[in-house]
Structures are given as C-alpha cells and as structure tokens.
Amino acid sequence: MKHWLEDSIFYEIYPQSFYDSNNDGIGDIPGIVEKLDYIKKLGCNALWLNPCFLSPFSDAGYDVADYCRVAPRYGTNEDLVKLFAEAHKRDMHVLLDLVPGHTSIEHAWFKESGKMEPNEYWGRYVWTDSIWKDVASYDGISGSLRGMYPRDGSVGVNFYSTQPALNYGFANPTESWQCAVDSPEAMGTRQAMKEVMAFWISRGCDGFRVDMAGSLVKNDPDKAETIRLWQDMRAYLDETYPKAVLISEWGEPDKSLMGGFHMDFLLHFGPSHYMDLFRCEHPYFSREGKGDAFSFVETYKKNYELTRKKGMICIPSGNHDMVRIRKYLDNEELKLVYAFLLSMPGAPFIYYGDEIGMRYLDIPNVEGGYHRTGSRTPMQWNHGINYGFSEAPVEKLYTVQDTTEDAPAAADQMADENSLWHEIQRLAEIRREHPALCASGKIEFVYCEKEKYPLVYLRYDEEQKVLVALNPSGEEASCPCPYKEKAVVYSRGGAIRLEDGILHIPGESAAFVEVE
C-alpha cells in the first residue's frame, strides 16, 4: 500500500490569519475545521499548521511556552484533537510545527534553569559557567542573555533574545560548560522532545514539520552529530509510532534524509537557488524572459544524486518567512509556477492565500514578523466584513488587510473557471491521476541551459513517462527532445510541437505530454 505522502499536496496555515470563528480578530482552530472542505476542494489533502502552542508571541508562536498546550487564543487541546479527527474523516493529514531548537523565556523549563541552585533543568539550555563568559561566539548560537537571572552564567539564544537555545550538546566540546551530545544533559533534552512528539501523535497528529532541524547540535560543522540525533529520533518513532511523518526545514536533503526525515524543504536562503525561480529582480517564471533556472537545476540534480535519486525535496509556493510570490509575478504567470510546483518530485506546499494571489503588504511589525508581517495578513475569503475573515472591529484584526479595489477573494476565484484557484485545482487532479508526477516518481532534466528557455524534464515510473515542458517567457522557445508524443496530459497556452527531434513551445505555455 502506498504511503499517504506519495500523492500529498500540502496547504500551510498560519493559524492566527486563516479564519476567525469567534470574532475576536484572531484566527483559530475551530475556524480551520470549518474550512477543511475548502482546502480539500482546492486539491490539498494535507495540512501544515504553524505553531499553535502556548506562547507570549514575541516571534508569532515560534517562542513556545508549553509544547503540550494549545494557546487559548486558538482554542483548546480538544479543538486540535477534533481537527485531527475531522481531517482524517476527509482522508486528509495534519502536521504540526515542531520547534525543537529553542523555547520562550516564559517556558517552565527555562525558568527553572535560571535558578541559582542546580536542578533537573539546569542542563536543558546552553549556559556557560560564569557570567563573564559569553556564549554567542559559538557555532549555532546567535546571541546570549547575561545578568538577567540568579544563575551565574550566560545563556545562548537562537534568533531573538526571547528564544533561549535548548541543549542537545556540542559535537566538539572545547569548554568545561559544553556538554557532549551523549551527556545526561543533552540526552535529557532529546528525551523531552520525544515526549512532546508522543503527546501529539498519540492524540491523532500525523507528524511534524521540524523547524530549523539542522541547527540542534552546536559546533557541528559537518552535521554528523545532528544527523545521528535525528536517526535516534526516527528510531524512537519507528518503534512507537511508525506511521509518524517528519519533514525537515534543513535545506540540505542529503543530510536530512540520511537523518531519517521523509522529505526536506527548499529554503529561501542557502544554496538551493530557489529564489531565482520566483523572487528576484528577474524571476525565471516572469514573462519578460530574463530569468535563469540553470543554477537551481544544477543544485537540484546534485542533491538528487546525493539522496540516491529519492527526490524527496519539497518546493513551496512560499511560507510565513518570505515575501509573497504575488509581489513578483501576476496570476497568469503564477499558473505556470503551479504547473512546475505540481509536477516536481516530493510534496508541493501551497501557502494559504497564494492560491488566490494574495499580495504582500508593506505594513508595520506584528509579533516579531518585521518584514515578514506583510505575508501574514488575514485570508481574503469574500467581499464581506474584513473579507470574510472575521466580524471583529477592524482594529482588533491580527494585521491590516489589503484595501485595494482589486484585492483578490477566494469566492471570486472559485466562481471563475479561468482563475488561478481553478488552475491549481486542475493541476492537483492531474498530478494524482498520473503516479509518475507524484512524490517518488523519478525525474530527468531534458533541457535547461544558462539564461535560456524552456525548462523541460521527464517524470517517470515503471508504468509511464510524462514530459513536462515549461516556457514562462513571452517568446516561443525550442530545444532538442528525444521523445515521441503519445498523448497530451495537460496544456496551458499554445500547443507544443514535436518535430524532427525538436520541441517547440509557444510563449507563456506549459504542457505535460505522455511520451514513449
């Protein structure tokens, strides 16, 4: 029986901005339950929820104060369990966002660790043994807190000062206060995170998207100890919850898949060249035809070989950490983007609102979002009060909304057969009808040259070969092609021609062609 990830298409939900069921201005879990049928109808059968746990929200919930309690503004633990059950009724799956690298300063573990007298939590975070010794200069630690707690020492933090780093040990300890990865302190942290995973999986969660999965072990330049840590985590899950899924935010699939993750995300930073496709001065998928996908493809091929051609690399439309894709490409250009996303290996991820072309807004910081806040605005459902997101007074909404006359709304796009929403729906259906296009189908790049169009690749399995031809530029493009056409599976724009070993693709067009 095939794994459910094989034909999964994920929908990422930023809970506070999705749908407000109680009209307090903040999205909530009962609101997500109400919209499950919408997500299913779009073609997505899996959810990734950004953190929904108790938090002071200095980093929008990525500063967790209690891993095992839903934040009251979102509902209750029982509401989340109901979401799991309602999703499963619809043959959908739910991943929670696991943040194993740090907690909030409000977490009970951290409060105990900062006390003067040693206790069972003293080793839960990365503390030096003297207030005069800083921890910020060590690999994997971005800053420190000093002089704020009774304990004599400095504590390392990840990102914001409100996020103290959990202690999984140092790969190469060089100071007396640095724990080895197999020390009682580091193993205690590891066990605590296993218990967090077990808490939610036992209640119906299908697994986790793991935040910054490659960052846990400090001073680990080749990530060997971090890989071993995740292998241990996976072994624990295999023994207790073998169906639990782990998808990593790592950006190095050769390492994450070795660690036992099912799939890895491409990131908007790092070596993947993901940004070359959709978010740069000249995106490859712009009709201006000045983009370059070559470096992306070369890096992808390298990772594909390093992972023994597993291809389990997730390519998202966007996420809560990056500028919305609509800032760079219009809805017609985005139709070709989704032809790409929904024909690549691994699991596609669609960020809420991207399916209707929601815009990035230049707005003030909310909950530590800073420039990212403009990608976290409330979902635009219809043209009712607050675009159908909430009936709360506008000043109580999580953030401001798009007030332009042509602001997109889901209701409009669902009523228009030619909309971006319906194009995604069609592509999702085609993907599932052709297993070669799904997660583990193989890929071979047929044509991708530097600063040239088109982009052509073959998806195949034991039963079928599907040629994917994409020409986002406004001009016709051609390339050598050794295959013979059997049937057109999908076509957008003008008709392609395969003549005498040359593939001709009109401008702004895409085609999936079954070949022999």
Does the domain at 102-167 match CATH 3.90.1150.10? Answer given as: no
Mean pLDDT of 229-253: 97
Asked if 344 contacts 303 with a C-beta cutoff of 8 angstroms, the reply is: no
Mean pLDDT of 230-252: 97
Ranges of CATH 3.90.400.10 domains, the chain:
102-167
Asked if 217 contacts 171 with a C-beta cutoff of 8 angstroms, the reply is: yes
DSSP string, 412-428: HHHH-TTSHHHHHHHHH
pLDDT confidence band for 301 (50 / 70 / 90): very high
Which pLDDT value is given to residue 154? 97
Asked if 357 contacts 326 with a C-beta cutoff of 8 angstroms, the reply is: yes
Ranges of CATH 2.60.40.1180 domains, the chain:
442-515
Q: Is the pLDDT of residue 310 over 90?
A: no
pLDDT confidence band for 270 (50 / 70 / 90): confident
pLDDT in tens, 446-464: 999 999 999 999 999 999 9
Give the strand order in the sheet containing 245-248.
313-314, 263-265, 245-248, 207-210, 93-98, 46-49, 10-13, 349-351
Mean pLDDT of 481-492: 96
- Alpha-carbon distance of 402 to 470, in angstroms, equals 31
pTM above 0.95, yes or no: yes
Which pLDDT value is given to residue 236? 98
Phi-psi region of 40 (alpha: psi -120 to 50; beta: other; left: phi over 0): alpha
Mean pLDDT of 169-196: 97
169-183, 305-319, 418-432: lowest mean pLDDT where?
Answer: 305-319
Q: Is the pLDDT of residue 302 over 90?
A: yes
264-268, 395-399, 503-507: lowest mean pLDDT where?
Answer: 264-268
Return the structure tokens found at 314: 């997730």
Asked if 302 contacts 284 with a C-beta cutoff of 8 angstroms, the reply is: no
Q: Is the pLDDT of residue 107 over 90?
A: yes
Cβ contacts of 2 within 8 Å, gap of 6 or more: none
Element at 301 (helix H, strand E): helix 294-306
Pairing of strands 10-13, 349-351: parallel
Asked if 90 contacts 82 with a C-beta cutoff of 8 angstroms, the reply is: no
Residue with tokens 């292998």, as numbered in its chain: 231
Which pLDDT value is given to residue 34? 98
Ranges of CATH 3.20.20.80 domains, the chain:
4-99+187-431
Which pLDDT value is given to residue 66? 98
Which pLDDT value is given to residue 136? 87
User: Cα 241–246–250 angle (5° rounding)?
Assistant: 155
Does the domain at 442-515 match CATH 3.30.530.20? Answer given as: no
Asked if 317 contacts 456 with a C-beta cutoff of 8 angstroms, the reply is: no
Which pLDDT value is given to residue 308? 83
172-181, 196-205, 304-313, 335-344: lowest mean pLDDT where?
Answer: 304-313
Which pLDDT value is given to residue 338? 98
Which pLDDT value is given to residue 2? 87
DSSP state at residue 260: T
Element at 229 (helix H, strand E): helix 224-240
Which pLDDT value is given to residue 329? 98
Residue with tokens 């943040």, as numbered in its chain: 99
pLDDT confidence band for 306 (50 / 70 / 90): confident
Q: Is the pLDDT of residue 242 over 90?
A: yes
User: Considering the chain, what is the average pLDDT of its residues?
Assistant: 96
- Alpha-carbon distance of 296 to 340, in angstroms, equals 13
Cβ contacts of 413 within 8 Å, gap of 6 or more: 355, 356, 419, 420, 421, 422
Architecture in CATH of 4-99+187-431: Alpha-Beta Barrel (3.20)
Mean pLDDT of 480-494: 95
Which pLDDT value is given to residue 425? 98
Q: What are phi and psi of 147, to 5 degrees?
A: 75, 20
Task: Point out which residues pair with 511 in neighbouring strands.
Answer: 469, 491
User: For the chain, what's the residue count?
Assistant: 516
Q: Is the pLDDT of residue 325 over 90?
A: yes
Higher-confidence residue: 309 or 175?
175
pLDDT in tens, 30-86: 999 999 999 999 999 999 999 999 999 999 999 999 999 999 999 999 999 999 999
pLDDT in tens, 22-37: 999 999 999 999 999 9
Q: State whether residue 13 is helix, strand or coil.
A: strand
Return the structure tokens found at 68: 């095992």
Mean pLDDT of 407-419: 98
Asked if 359 contacts 387 with a C-beta cutoff of 8 angstroms, the reply is: no
pLDDT confidence band for 514 (50 / 70 / 90): very high
DSSP string, 122-180: TTSB-B-SSTTS--TTSTT--EEE-SSSSSSS-EEESSSTT-BBB---BSS--STTPPB
